[in-house]
Homo-oligomer: A and B are copies of this chain.
């Protein structure tokens, strides 16, 4: 399998954790050529993935887009350890947390949106950060309430072993730390995040350990 990834992409980070938890070897392919607009790489990548986003997992000759679709695919083909509970309402609860992060926090704060706020909309760096904070705080406050109120919460979002929810939560907290969002108001999120980052599969998936880190300047923003 080959994973097209960008080290700081939180959606790519989710899939890296899943691959590690399942013990699946994969080839890491950075997408620096896409960022730089290299015509050959861009053409090749858009043919594989018309969405033009990362991550993309190519399994054999089948390209699979969208991180949550990829993770469900891996979970169906490689059921151990399971990334969803067995009972339908519990599965819906876990998917509900994952999708809240994936649909209602993440998309508002990704690179292409931050770029659009600067150009063409002409917002300052400070206004862009206020936008970031607004959606992150709205999302994290709701997530904290959801998790505090859940009788199923354990060391992880649901029980004591990682599920799809944790695979979304940990990268989102990484992203918040990257953008210097104070996390004191979200002790439950932070505790789950810190626990997950004691697990080898999460540790190895962290952005700063990916092979394409060195291709980017430390503060390079895309």
Using a CB–CB distance below 8 Å, which chain A residues touch chain B?
50-53, 59, 62, 64-66, 68-70, 72-73, 76-77, 88-89, 91-93, 95-96, 98-100, 102-104, 106-108, 113, 116, 121, 123, 127, 131, 134, 142, 145-146, 149
Q: How many copies does the complex hold?
A: 2
22 of the cross-chain contacts (CB-CB < 8 Å) are A50-B145, A51-B100, A52-B142, A64-B89, A64-B93, A65-B100, A66-B95, A66-B99, A68-B95, A69-B93, A69-B98, A70-B92, A72-B92, A73-B89, A73-B95, A76-B91, A99-B102, A103-B103, A104-B107, A107-B108, A116-B131, A116-B134
A93: B residues at CB distance < 8 A? 64, 69
A51: B residues at CB distance < 8 A? 100, 104, 142, 146
Find the B residue at minimum CB distance from A108: B107
A59: B residues at CB distance < 8 A? 89
Given that A91-B76, A103-B107, A149-B50 are contacting pairs, would A96 and B62 also be in contact in the complex, using a CB cutoff of 8 Å?
Answer: no
Q: How far is the CA of A68 from the CA of B88 in the complex (A)?
A: 13
Find the B residue at minimum CB distance from A99: B66
A134: B residues at CB distance < 8 A? 116
Pair A50/B89 contact, Cβ less than 8 Å: no
Q: How far is the CA of A99 from the CA of B52 in the complex (A)?
A: 14
Out of B69, B96, B100, B116, which one reaches A95, CB within 8 Å? B69
Q: How far is the CA of A134 from the CA of B134 in the complex (A)?
A: 22
A74 → chain B, closest Cβ, in Å?
A: 9
Given that A52-B142, A121-B127 are contacting pairs, would A95 and B72 also be in contact in the complex, using a CB cutoff of 8 Å?
Answer: yes
Find the B residue at minimum CB distance from A70: B92
Candidate in A52, A102, A149 with the most chain B CB atoms within 10 angstroms: A102
A114 → chain B, closest Cβ, in Å?
A: 12
Candidate in A50, A73, A134 with the most chain B CB atoms within 10 angstroms: A50
Pair A91/B68 contact, Cβ less than 8 Å: no
Q: How far is the CA of A64 from the CA of B93 in the complex (A)?
A: 7
